[in-house]
């Protein structure tokens, strides 16, 4: 089975092509360029490296959020475009689950953290590979209180790594290698394959939608205007 995976939920953009669970090509970029400029060429690059086209792909996998509103929308739009009219399955995955897979095999707590600004993070808690919480948008102070209940090693991953390490002070927090902190399309692909085999979180191009935990800034501003006018 050929799987094409992308992740555009944070500053780093990533694309990968796998045959079964073997990585054929991987491309991760953290240059600060907009995903609208980089994501399609990256997806094309990994397919070109293997000599395949979207018609040859059996499964598309995407980290569908939470994360950057613009990045999430770009990724979803790209996957919809690649799949349009092809009746191909799309695994639309929580970015918390795909980040946690970066540290697959680590014993203890894996805590994905994505910077949501104002000292808040998108997060979830996994222990020994098993999800302990739903995806959350919470202040770092609240996450610290939740993590106090675990007496095992704790590992952060995600673009909120530095923020979490600065604001959360617990003795059992461990260092995460730099390579395992960024969004990684290989992890997206592996999580997508798992979901495909279990027939969960699988959609068509018309069904797949972003995963948001709060309204966009534009939507929040619109609601504030409505309240002021009432």
Residue 157 DSSP symbol: E
pLDDT, position 214 = 75
- What dihedral angle (degrees, nearest 10) is formed by the CA atoms of 82, 61, 46, 16? 160
Residue whose structure tokens are 């209940």: 149
Strand bridging mode 13-19 / 2-7: antiparallel
CA atoms within 13 A on the CB side of 71: 24
Alpha carbon 189 to chain centroid distance? 11
CA R_g for the chain: 18
pLDDT, position 129 = 94
Alpha carbon 97 to chain centroid distance? 7
Residue whose structure tokens are 């990256």: 42
pLDDT, position 228 = 57
pTM reported for the whole predicted model: 0.92
CATH number of the 2-96+183-229 domain: 3.30.420.40
User: In angstroms, how far apart are the furthest CA atoms of the chain?
Assistant: 58
The answer to whether 140 and 168 are in contact (CB under 8 A) is yes
Six token digits for residue 60: 């598309």
Strand bridging mode 59-65 / 22-29: unpaired
Distance between CA atoms of residues 206 and 85, nearest Å = 9
Tell me which H or E stretch contains 134.
none
Distance between CA atoms of residues 96 and 112, nearest Å = 6
Distance between CA atoms of residues 108 and 86, nearest Å = 41
CATH number assigned to the domain with residue range 106-180, chosen from the 4 options 3.40.50.2300, 3.40.1050.10, 3.20.20.70, 3.30.420.40: 3.30.420.40
**CATH 3.30.420.40, the chain: domain bounds:** 2-96+183-229, 106-180
Neighbours of 11 (CB within 10 A): 19
What is the mean pLDDT of each successive set of 10 residues along the chain, which is 230 residues long? Answer: 97 96 96 90 97 97 96 96 94 98 97 96 97 97 97 97 97 97 96 98 96 64 52
pLDDT, position 112 = 98
Six token digits for residue 204: 């068509």
């Amino acid at each position: 089975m050929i799987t094409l995976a992308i992740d555009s939920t944070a500053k780093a953009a990533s694309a990968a092509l796998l045959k079964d669970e073997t990585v054929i090509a991987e491309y991760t970029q953290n240059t600060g360029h907009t995903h609208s400029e980089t994501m399609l060429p990256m997806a094309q690059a990994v397919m070109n490296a293997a000599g395949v086209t979207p018609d040859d792909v059996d499964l598309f996998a995407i980290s569908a959020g939470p994360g950057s509103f613009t990045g999430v929308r770009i990724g979803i739009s790209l996957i919809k475009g690649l799949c349009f009219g092809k009746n191909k399955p799309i695994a639309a995955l929580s970015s918390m689950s795909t980040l946690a897979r970066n540290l697959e095999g680590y014993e203890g707590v894996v805590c994905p953290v994505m910077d949501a600004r104002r000292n808040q993070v998108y997060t979830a808690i996994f222990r020994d590979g098993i999800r302990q919480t739903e995806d959350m948008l919470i202040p770092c102070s609240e996450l610290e209180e939740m993590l106090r209940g675990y007496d095992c090693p704790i590992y952060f991953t995600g673009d909120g790594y530095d923020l979490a390490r600065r604001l959360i002070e617990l003795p059992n927090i461990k260092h995460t290698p730099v390579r395992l902190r960024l969004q990684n399309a290989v992890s997206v692909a592996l999580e997508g394959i798992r979901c495909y085999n279990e027939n969960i979180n699988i959609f068509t191009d018309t069904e797949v939608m972003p995963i948001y935990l709060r309204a966009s800034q534009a939507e929040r501003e619109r609601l504030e205007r409505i309240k002021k006018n009432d």
